[in-house]
Amino acid sequence: MTRFHRLLAANDPDLAAHCERTGRLAADIAEYMGLSSERIELLEVASQVHDIGKVFIPRDILDKPGPLNTEEWAELRRHPRLGYELVERSMPDIVASVVLTHHERFDGTGYPNELPGPRISLEARILQAADAIDAITSDRPYQPALPLEYALNELERYSGSQFDPVVVDAVMELANRESRAHLASVAS
């Protein structure tokens, strides 16, 4: 556990648990896709701290039970850059890069830099899918946990726009190979 993950856990245990679950799921996806053990390890580290920038976001925004207004969204969208600035000098470049780009979208409409798929590392594209699965299948202030089937359908629905189609295909193959029950246990 890195000092940044400990900071996240001290500040928001639920968010730290989300990052841990996301890291396990991202590692499973990366392993299935054939990434090296070194890349998988760095992806797990990045996953465990990907939301570290949220420690600088006001709690009333993070815990809001309803939709965010324009100003609140602008504030929340600062967290990837804030997290990157926190970790960039003390963590490997790929970890810092994944923290910065985990909300970019495959079609180039994400944030903070509107990078298209080929300019987003594979590690960040894997984390995006794992992050979405865990966010959907976990209780959140703005929505109760939804079934894994719903999360997988959302990945397929947004394949090519929000998510890398190659990563989505790998998630679907992994879900079918490992059984959805296994994938659900990793995501929960």
pLDDT at position 186 is 59
Question: Given a cut of 60, is residue 180 above it in pLDDT?
Answer: no
Give kind and range of the element (H or E) at residue 19. Answer: helix 13-32
The whole-angstrom separation of Cα 188 and Cα 178 is: 15
Judge whether residue 179 has pLDDT over 70. Answer: no
Instruction: Give per-residue pLDDT as tens, 8-46.
Output: 899 999 999 999 999 999 999 999 999 999 999 999 999
All domains of the chain in start order, with CATH: 3-187 (1.10.3210.10)
pLDDT the model gives residue 55: 95
Predicted TM-score (pTM) of the model is 0.92
Q: What is the pLDDT of residues 66-119, one digit of tens each?
A: 899 999 999 999 999 999 999 999 999 999 999 999 999 999 999 999 999 999
Task: Provide the pLDDT for residue 143.
Answer: 85
DSSP string spanning 126-175?
A: HHHHHHHHHHHHS-BTTB----HHHHHHHHHHTBTTTB-HHHHHHHHHHH
Q: What is the mean pLDDT of residues 44-62?
A: 96
Both tokens of 187, joined, read 């995501």
Position 177 scores a pLDDT of: 75
Q: So what's the pLDDT on residue 183?
A: 59
Rounded alpha-carbon distances, angstroms, from residue 146 to 100, 109, 120, 154, 188: 27, 25, 28, 11, 11
pLDDT tier, 185 (very low <50, low <70, confident <90, very high otherwise): low
179 Rama sector, left if φ>0, alpha if ψ -120 to 50, beta otherwise: left
Cβ neighbours, 10 Å, residue 95? 25
- Using DSSP's 3-state secondary structure scheme, residue 107 falls into strand
Q: What is the pLDDT of residues 135-166, one digit of tens each?
A: 999 988 788 999 999 999 999 999 999 999 99
Q: In the structure encoding, which two tokens stand for residue 163, read together?
A: 């998510």
